[in-house]
């Protein structure tokens, strides 16, 4: 566990230093983003779970926030965001332990920081992967483990450019708290699948501005 956390921290530090070495001021974009989809609590563990453990049910998830990104090479972009997220989950109590089947739902919210690498393909299509750091807010889940920790994100999509306005659409998946900050009781990891949309303003780089001045 500690080795995994250390590895993720080293990757983040490397990407930060790499971005500085590769002129991160190229093609800066600042904007807003939001996403919506469905979640499913899953267990990624070899820990023994008793047969009496009742199942969890997935419902909707959403997030909204701000983001900033920049090109680090000809085909790669790094993006950092700060998002406010909400997740609704359900916990089932059913016979023979209980008289009747009933699903209790609860909604909890997190502050999330996704750090994502984009690899551009042809015609503004891209694939993406990265890590996401989650911090539970006051309304922590009662029956589900808090999702504090490092997770993973993957996705694919396309950018639509209208002058300096960039709209990106990308279906993707998130696995939250793959490496939790603290020990958990039930070892749930929240798997989220959904659609992400972003609106950004593309600031021209210093080199592009100079080229435009030379043309004038």
9-31 pLDDT per residue, tens: 555 555 555 544 545 457 899 99
Question: Can you give the pLDDT at residue 85?
Answer: 95
124-146 pLDDT per residue, tens: 999 999 999 999 887 666 777 78
Angle at 82 between CA 145 and CA 170, to 5 degrees: 90
95-106 pLDDT per residue, tens: 666 667 788 888
Residue 215 pLDDT greater than 50, yes or no: no
φ, ψ of residue 15 to 5 degrees: the values are -65, -35
Q: Is the distance from CB of 5 to CB of 179 less than 8 angstroms?
A: yes
Structure tokens at 106: 């609860």
Burial per residue of 22-53, b for 16 or more beta-carbon CB atoms within 10 angstroms, e otherwise: eebebbbbebebebebebbbeeeeeeeeeeee
Give the range of the structural domain holding residue 203, as residue numbers without chain letter.
2-215
DSSP states of 21-66 = HTTTTEEEEEEEEEEEEEEEEEE-------TTPPPEEEEEEEEEEE
Segment 38-48 shows an average pLDDT of 75
Residue 211 pLDDT greater than 60, yes or no: no
Question: Can you give the pLDDT at residue 27?
Answer: 84
Question: How far is 2 from 10, CA to CA, in rounded Å?
Answer: 12
Q: How many CA atoms lie within 13 A of 65 on its CB side?
A: 20
> How many domains are contained in the chain?
1
Residue 214 pLDDT greater than 50, yes or no: no
CATH number reported for the structural domain that contains residue 74 in this entry: 2.40.160.20
Beta bridge partners of 160: 167
Question: How far is 3 from 115, CA to CA, in rounded Å?
Answer: 20
Instruction: Indicate the average pLDDT of the chain.
Output: 80
Question: Can you give the pLDDT at residue 78?
Answer: 93
The Cβ of residue 163 has, within 10 Å, a number of other Cβ atoms equal to 7
């Amino acid at each position: 566990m500690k080795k995994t956390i250390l590895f993720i921290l080293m990757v983040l530090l490397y990407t930060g230093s790499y971005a500085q070495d590769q002129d991160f001021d190229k093609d800066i974009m600042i904007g807003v983003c939001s996403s919506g989809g469905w979640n499913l609590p899953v267990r990624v563990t070899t820990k023994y779970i008793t047969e009496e453990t009742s199942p969890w049910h997935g419902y909707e998830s959403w997030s909204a926030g701000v983001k900033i990104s920049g090109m680090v090479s000809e085909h790669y972009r790094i993006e950092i965001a700060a998002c406010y997220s909400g997740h609704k989950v359900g916990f089932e109590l059913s016979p023979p332990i209980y008289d009747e089947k009933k699903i209790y739902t609860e909604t909890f919210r997190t502050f999330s920081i996704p750090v994502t690498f984009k690899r551009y393909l042809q015609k503004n299509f891209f694939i993406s992967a990265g890590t996401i750091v989650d911090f539970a807010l006051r309304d922590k889940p009662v029956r589900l483990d808090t999702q504090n920790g490092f997770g993973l994100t993957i996705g694919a999509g396309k950018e639509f450019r209208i002058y300096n306005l960039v709209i990106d659409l990308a279906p993707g998946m998130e696995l939250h708290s793959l490496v939790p900050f603290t020990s958990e009781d039930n070892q749930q990891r929240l798997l989220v699948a959904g659609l992400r949309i972003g609106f950004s303003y593309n600031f021209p780089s210093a080199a592009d501005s100079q080229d435009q001045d030379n043309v004038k």
